[in-house]
A = this chain, B = another copy of it.
Amino acid sequence: MVTIGDVARVAGVSRSTASYALSGKRSISAEVRDKVEQAVRDLGYTPNAGAKALATSQTQVLGLLARFLEDEFAPAMLQYILGVTNEARARGYDTLLITDEDGVAALRRISESRMVDGFILLNVAESDDRLGFLRAASQPGTLVGLPGDPTGLDVFDLDFVAAGRLMVETLHELGHRSLILVSQPEHVLERGGAYVSRLANAAQQRAAELGVELHHHFGASSQPQIGVELANLLDAHPEATGLLLNNEAAAAALPNVLQSRGLASPADISVIGRYSDDFARTFSLPYSAIDSAADELGRRAVERLVSRIEGTVDAESPVVDLFAPRIDDRGSTSVPPTRQ
C-alpha cells in the first residue's frame, strides 16, 4: 500500500504538508505542490478510505435502504436504485445497497457504525417503522415515498393526488362519463402503500365533482387472475368508456383482454395507466400513462441528501417535494364511442 507518508518522503516534505498540498486547506508553495502531485502520480497514491473516514468522520458513502415487498412489481425498483447510484456518483458518493429484511435493525447497524454519511429510504410506507430511528440518527435521511407523518424529513414522491385528479379530468374533458379504476391489491394498501388510496380517493372525489361515474376496484397483482378480473369488470360495467390503471399487472394483461373481447383502444375504450416509462417500453404497452419518474425521484432525493450532508441547506427546512404528474401520450385516449 502506498500511503501519504510515502508520498511525503518522495516529495521531500512532511506528511502534513503533503496532506495540505492535496487538500488545499492551507496555502502551499507552487513548487511543493508540484512535487507532491508528481509523487502521487509516480507512486499511484490513492487515499485509504477507512483512514480518511476515521480522521474526517465522513465516508463519502450513502446508504440506500430498499424494501422489497411481496406482490409488488420489483423491476420498477431498479429504476429508483439506478437513479440514486448514478446521481450519487456524480456528486462524489458511493452507494451501500441495503436490502435487509429488518430495515430498522439495518438502519441502526449502518448508522451507528458510521458506515455512511446519509440515508435514502425507498418504498416508504404510510406508517414506516424506520422513520422513528431515522429522525434520531446522527446522519440525515431522505425519503422516496410519502409517509403519513413526514415531520422533520425530506420527502420526494410522485403527487398521487394530482395523478388521480389528472386521470379523471383528462377523460372527463374528452367527454367520458363512466370510468373504471383498477388499483393495486388491497393488501398493498394495508401494508402501508397509501399512495394507492391517495390516488383512488382523489380520483373518486374529482369524479364526484365533475359528475363522472367511477367504479373502483382493487385488482390482483399477478397473472392470470388480474386478466380475469379485468374481463369481469368490463362485463359488470358495459357503460364504462374509460379505464384507469394504477396497477402494473393490469396494464400488462390488458392487451390480451381487449383483444379477446374484440375491443380496441381508444376506439372502444380509452385507457390511462400509471407506470414507468421503462415498463411501458419493455412490454410495448400502447397506453398513455403517468410516468412514475423513478429515476428523477431518486436523483432529486440524492441531490437533497448531499446538500444536507454538506451543510449547504438550512438544517431546519425539511421539504416535501411532490412531483407533478404528466401523462405520456401514447394515443390510447379519445372521445368516447357513440352508442345507441
Name A's B-contacting residues (CB within 8 A): 1, 44, 46-54, 59, 61, 64, 68, 73-75, 77-78, 81-82, 85-86, 89, 94-100, 108-110, 112-115, 222-224, 227, 249, 252-253, 255-256, 259-260, 278, 281-284
Contact B282 A49 (CB under 8 A): no
Partner of A49, one of B44, B78, B94, B113: B113
Residues of chain B within 8 A of A52, CB atoms compared: 50
Contact A94 B115 (CB under 8 A): yes
Contact A100 B89 (CB under 8 A): yes
Residues of chain B within 8 A of A64, CB atoms compared: 97
Residues of chain B within 8 A of A85, CB atoms compared: 97-99
Determine the distance from Cα of A303 to Cα of B125 in the docked complex, in whole angstroms.
Answer: 33
Determine the distance from Cα of A94 to Cα of B114 in the docked complex, in whole angstroms.
Answer: 13
Residues of chain B within 8 A of A78, CB atoms compared: 74-75, 77-78, 81
The oligomer's copy count stands at 2
Partner of A86, one of B47, B99, B256, B260: B99
Given A47-B113, A48-B114, A54-B48: A223 touches B284 (CB 8 Å cut-off):
yes
Residues of chain B within 8 A of A54, CB atoms compared: 48, 50-51, 54
Name A224's closest neighbour in chain B (CB-CB). B284
How far apart are A128's CB and chain B's nearest CB, in angstroms?
20
Determine the distance from Cα of A154 to Cα of B75 in the docked complex, in whole angstroms.
Answer: 28
How far apart are A229's CB and chain B's nearest CB, in angstroms?
13
Contact A281 B222 (CB under 8 A): yes
Shortest Cβ-Cβ A-B pairs, 6 listed: A223-B284, A50-B53, A75-B75, A46-B112, A97-B97, A50-B54
Determine the distance from Cα of A52 to Cα of B48 in the docked complex, in whole angstroms.
Answer: 13
Partner of A61, one of B75, B96, B281, B283: B96
Chain B CB within 10 Å, residue with most, of A51, A98, A109, A113: A113
Name A222's closest neighbour in chain B (CB-CB). B281
10 A-B pairs in the complex with CB atoms less than 8 angstroms apart: A1-B114, A49-B50, A49-B59, A49-B114, A50-B50, A50-B54, A64-B97, A95-B98, A223-B282, A252-B282
Residues of chain B within 8 A of A59, CB atoms compared: 49-50
Determine the distance from Cα of A81 to Cα of B283 in the docked complex, in whole angstroms.
Answer: 22
Residues of chain B within 8 A of A224, CB atoms compared: 284
Partner of A252, one of B75, B99, B249, B283: B283
Determine the distance from Cα of A223 to Cα of B252 in the docked complex, in whole angstroms.
Answer: 13
Residues of chain B within 8 A of A46, CB atoms compared: 108-109, 112-113
How far apart are A329's CB and chain B's nearest CB, in angstroms?
17
Determine the distance from Cα of A109 to Cα of B44 in the docked complex, in whole angstroms.
Answer: 11
Given A222-B281, A252-B282: A81 touches B53 (CB 8 Å cut-off):
no
Given contacts A50-B59, A223-B281, A227-B284, 19 further A-B contacts (CB under 8 A): A46-B109, A50-B53, A54-B54, A73-B282, A78-B78, A78-B81, A81-B97, A82-B99, A94-B115, A95-B96, A96-B97, A97-B97, A223-B283, A252-B282, A252-B283, A252-B284, A255-B256, A256-B259, A259-B260
